Structure 1
Amino acid sequence: MDQSQSQKGILLACTTAFLWGFLSLAIKYATNFIPPTTIIWARFTIAFIAMFLYFLWKSPQTLKILIKPPFLLVVATVALSCNYLGYTMGIDLISPAGAQVIIQLGPMLLAVGGVVFFKEQLSRAQLMGFAIVTVGFFLFFRHQVNDLFAGQEDTFIYGALWVVFGAVTWATYALLQKKLVIDHPPQQLNLFLYGLPALLYIPSTSFTAIGQLDIMGWALLLFLGLNTLVAYGCLASALKYTEANKVSVIITLNPVITFICLAIMQAFQIEWITVPKMDIFTAFSGLIILFGVAIVVGSKKLKKKDLKDKEIKLSETHKE
């Protein structure tokens, strides 16, 4: 994997993190007047229609994956469907801030999976970067972490469990996607990833609620669908071009973007979403996170030659 491809993957992962930073806010607002499962159906359906029409015009042969999908792709699709359900149901019960704290379990599991299943090597600098990111997130979300263990009402606990379910199933999807992109074009995989869930969620979709939407409601649904299309398109390509551990740490930045948006909303007294507690210390811990991410992304992974030399030195030391 050359440096230019890795940089491309990093840029694509940053795009995903940026788009996901707005996603939780839009979903939380949408749940005020659209049932969660209807939101999920709309996101998948809009993304599928856009991609289907593109391939129908540009590359009709690509559509054959809808008829004969790889088995692992079907499993990944079911996992992604469960992720959407877990996150959307969770965010309906708790605040966007709380959901963003818990959902970071997903990228962390992806990073671990990259090392365990794909044998990705981490340098000491990268390990230090992961540690800094972990500490930074704990400090950044300390208010929410305290609330998490402060005996919150049952709705919060149920919401948290839904989001944990969403995080675990997302990591399952991402690891399978990482394997699938080795032999299949990322966007061809996404065509099936959007299409099957769009069918699965039809029985639970409230078309009555959709029919009652005004122009702003339709615009919100369109935004959610296009956000899904672009964010997951960039994520799939990022997993093809760079290591899963780097992708995971970059996309954990999306809560920082969410909090920046909430801070701006607070400054302009926009009150349609609850704004969490934020102070100077929160901003400082945000810088710590960025510093840790910079270390992970900027550090070069250990080359095979370096690993071999290291193994030789260790064996010589053991003999002595």
Structure 2
Amino acid sequence: MTKIHQTSGRWRLGLALSLLTAFLWGILPIALSVTLQKLDVYTVTWFRFLIAFVLLAIYLGVRGKLPTLRQLRSTSGKLLAIATIFLALNYILFLQGLALTSPYNAELLIQLAPLLMGLGGLVIFRERYTLTQWLALGILTIGFILFFHEQLLQSFIASSQNTNTSHTYQLFLNKNIIFDSSRKYLLGSSLIILAAVTWAVYALAQKQLLKSLSSSNIMLMIYGGCTLFFSVFAKPKTIFNLDYFHAATLLFCALNTLIAYGAFSEALEHWEASRVSAVLASTPIITLLSVEFVSVIAPNLIAPEKLTLVGMLGAVLVITSSVAIALGER
């Protein structure tokens, strides 16, 4: 029988690392939205993985903690390939979905990822939910439905308000515009949901890999594999055409990848996957606050979020129920 990974029991460290991950992921969609104004998704993703791989390799090399041949031989190649492929898919699907929706919408929908990881932790790693946590899971599902329904409704309303329906032809044209707007939102949201599924698979595979490798060594190999994969599609020359602001934003995205995923990977070493996933549910709050802040100081950079009462209720249900899942045993 395959031996599963066991946490270190240092839950306070796991909690701190999870909160750091949530903060970095919370502000990341804004930086990505700005970067995508100048670069394609493949080049952005390739650069993020390349910088993360190079910096992590230097750090581990200086500290003498690069993976040994013995460690690599004892590691499941299939599991490592699964983690690498599914993380690469997650990056592309999320960026494509983000380009079709808003940062806050993308960030809230991607909360399905830690939810699915938590459910996977129950099955694969035999973690357990209490009755309170199962009830919170039901409330979280209702919150997702309310938020998604309201966002779709608002896309219809916004499209109809931005058009002039004074003539029959214009009315026909406007209906097509409304349909295209709603289809764009549905497509973007669907890509985000698929990104959540691929991320959950990656996270569960990585947690099992911790049985034979350290979190930093796992991420080094995943970064390297993803860099090679995206080098086929990337256009490195376009990076040199960026102005200082967008170049700095791209570099921030790359550093965010290194620090956030390093903290997340280490958190799984010390805390249960279900608990880590629930703490990460606070990410949309950080995104919403960040969007509001940026839209005030730079209104031409990012538009503020337009949330209705029902949409806010759905978001609140998602976030609070996720926290309840984390604290259910207490």
Deviation per CA, 1:186-232, whole angstroms, max 9, x where unpaired? Answer: 11100011111111111211122101112222211211111001111
| Equivalent position SS for 1:264 | helix
- Residue identity opposite 2:22 in structure 1: A
Report the identity percentage.
30
Deviation per CA, 1:79-98, whole angstroms, max 9, x where unpaired? Answer: 10111111111212222233
Seen in structure 2, the aligned counterparts of structure 1 residues 210 and 234 have a Cα distance that, compared at 3 Å, is same
Work out whether 1:22 is the aligned partner of 2:27.
yes
| Equivalent position SS for 1:276 | coil
- Residue identity opposite 1:57 in structure 2: V
Structure 2: where are the runs of 5+ without partners?
1-5, 157-177
Q: CA deviation at 1:282?
A: 6.4
How many angstroms apart in 2 are the aligned matches of 1:157 and 1:194? 30
- Determine the structure 2 residue equivalent to 1:174: 203
- Residue identity opposite 1:166 in structure 2: A
Seen in structure 2, the aligned counterparts of structure 1 residues 138 and 6 have a Cα distance that, compared at 3 Å, is farther
Write the mapping of 1:1-320 to structure 2, written as runs, cut at 5 A: 5-62=10-67, 64=69, 70-71=76-77, 72-136=79-143, 143-147=150-154, 152-268=181-297, 270-278=299-307, 291-300=320-329
Q: CA deviation at 1:40?
A: 0.2
**CA RMSD, 1 decimal:** 2.8
Structure 1: where are the runs of 5+ without partners?
302-320
- Determine the structure 2 residue equivalent to 1:316: none
Deviation per CA, 1:213-260, whole angstroms, max 9, x where unpaired? Answer: 122222112111110011111111112221211111211221121111
Seen in structure 2, the aligned counterparts of structure 1 residues 65 and 299 have a Cα distance that, compared at 3 Å, is farther
The alignment's TM-score, normalised by the length of structure 2, stands at 0.81
How many angstroms apart in 1 are the aligned matches of 2:209 and 2:328? 26
| Equivalent position SS for 1:252 | helix
| Equivalent position SS for 2:246 | helix
- Residue identity opposite 1:245 in structure 2: S
Seen in structure 2, the aligned counterparts of structure 1 residues 136 and 127 have a Cα distance that, compared at 3 Å, is same
8 Å Cα contact 2:7/2:272 also seen in 1 = no
Deviation per CA, 1:119-147, whole angstroms, max 9, x where unpaired? Answer: 11111232233344444555566632534
8 Å Cα contact 2:42/2:92 also seen in 1 = yes
8 Å Cα contact 1:107/1:252 also seen in 2 = yes
How many angstroms apart in 1 are the aligned matches of 2:155 and 2:120? 26
How many angstroms apart in 1 are the aligned matches of 2:80 and 2:209? 7
**Count of aligned pairs between the two proteins:** 301
- Residue identity opposite 1:223 in structure 2: F
How many angstroms apart in 1 are the aligned matches of 2:148 and 2:290? 15
Seen in structure 2, the aligned counterparts of structure 1 residues 110 and 192 have a Cα distance that, compared at 3 Å, is same
